Amino acid sequence: MEFSTSTATSLHTLKAQALAIGVFQDGILSPAADALDQASGGAIRAVVQSEFDAAPGSCLTLHAPAGITADRVILLGLGRQDSLTAAILAKAHQAFAGYCVSAGVGTAVSTLCALNAGDASPTDCARTAARLVAAATYRYDQTFSRAKPAVKLRSFTLHLPRSKAAQAKTGLEQGAAIGAGVNLARLLGDLPPNVCTPTYLGQTARGLAKQFKTLKAEVLDRKKIEALKMGSFLSVAKGSVEPPAFIVLRHTPSKPAARKAAPIVLVGKGITFDAGGISLKPGPAMDEMKFDMCGAASVLGTMRAVAELDLPREVIGIVPSCENLPSGSAVKPGDIITSMSGQTIEVLNTDAEGRLILCDALTYAERFKPAAVVDVATLTGACVIALGHVNSGLFTQDDVLAGELLAASRQAQDPAWRMPLEDAYQDQLKSNFADMANIGGRPAGAITAACFLSRFTGKYRWAHLDIAGTAWLEGKQKGATGRPVPLLTQYLLGQCGA
């Protein structure tokens, strides 16, 4: 996919198979739409007045309009002119990208980033547009007997004033990298669990290291994990014949001057299939537990984006990965295990396994003396009950870090909501037989899960993202979303001053 900008003044002479223009409600045309209306002798305005209400996300195609070189002009609804936001522009670009892919369009031009949305810069608009176009081209066909038809869309151009072109070009570069990272995360999530195993995730990390010179991958096997005394992580892996993998993927900027700051560490939960262990999950929708490694997938996708952009900051991705299955060797309710930190844990429910693998990874992260650590996990159904499928749950006691992540979520159109993490909730994790229990009961389940993780993060700034409600779609649209790769990459861009 080729992304570019155009500052040509004669919009009606641009050659493209699809040319997108914005239209506001009450028949108000954007400047680009007005220019094409004049070139077409009033054809645009006539159609708008007769059949297009311009609701946000709506789309109408005009084929070969007179006086315009483009094969199609796509009218995109933007709602009320005085209410234009970055989110509405994103919705319009998503509709345009979807149309281009479904209609077999090869070359597309959008004029939307020429518009001023009060809460978005040209860089923000272009970044989001490129990411959404990249997402629209995603096709999963790895396990079909016949490959799906190839997407024909090969070029996407933003037409905008010369004064915005440089910022838009930067945004397109960032958005293309983020889109590729999102699609990698989606692919890893969508692959079946008999393909995407812990070993496969390790191979993916090594493949990224071969593709990008700034990345270095290390994959620790069971013996090395045992040598590190990661008893909590290994307790979850005991029930499966699939070997565990502890993946460390490190981005070192190509410019030496950019290596001075302390690294930022991302930790992703990599349970490639979660049957619940001895505390077996119900059968319906258990197939969706292949998505329980979407935290790991998002970390790998983010690391891909980081490497493609060669961000001027050291970033380290850590992925503890295994399966959680019932067997004669599986960890049992009532077992006491010892984490890498030396703290002991009473396992009351083997289906609360994500925190058991993450806690050892969080302890491992100490060795990097990080500036901040963000873990990402499909951790609790309780977070889905609290926030649904719109916002990822954000937990941290660091107000500055929370502000940075929330700002990034808004800027990336990848929303998160801060949840409480007060010490009073820690009491629910008390155990009569160990330093802590691995669950705190039904009340505030997402919060007590975060409280558990917080006990392993005392030596650095830390935040936890619970993506159980946002990592994948259910029902007929079932598939991984690639979230929160946009949020994480935007946060890292912000830390680099980009």
Q: What crossing angle do the helices spanning 294-309 and 162-190 adopt, rounded to 10°?
A: 140
Pairwise CA distance, residues 296 & 303, whole Å = 11
The two tokens of residue 461 are: 């700034």
Task: Pick the closest to residue 296 from 185, 207, 392, 208 (CA basis).
Answer: 185
- The residues, any chain, with a CB within 8 Å of residue 46's CB and separated by 6 or more, are none
Pairwise CA distance, residues 70 & 19, whole Å = 6
Per the annotation, the verdict on 355 as an active-site residue is: yes
Catalytic residue among 186, 304, 313, 355: 355
- Phi/psi for 59 (5° steps) reads -150, 135
Pairwise CA distance, residues 318 & 269, whole Å = 9
Tell me whether the omega of the peptide bond preceding residue 484 falls within 30 degrees of 0, making it cis: yes
SS3 content of the chain, % helix, strand, coil (to 5): 45, 20, 40
CB 321 within 8 A of CB 339: no
Pairwise CA distance, residues 322 & 340, whole Å = 17
Q: What is the DSSP annotation of 443-478? A: TTHHHHHHHHHHTT-TTS-EEEEE-TTTSEE-GGG-
Task: Pick the closest to residue 483 from 468, 494, 498 (CA basis).
Answer: 468
Catalytic residue among 222, 281, 418, 461: 281
| Other CB atoms within 10 A of residue 415 CB | 18
The two tokens of residue 305 are: 């984006």
> Using alpha carbons only, how large is the chain's radius of gyration in Å?
24
The two tokens of residue 49 are: 């007045």
Task: Pick the closest to residue 472 from 358, 354, 382, 392 (CA basis).
Answer: 392
CB 491 within 8 A of CB 404: yes
Task: Provide long-range contacts, Cβ within 8 A and 24+ apart, for 141-146.
Answer: 142/187, 142/190, 142/191, 142/195, 143/191, 143/192, 143/195
Residues annotated as catalytic (active site), given as ranges: 281, 355
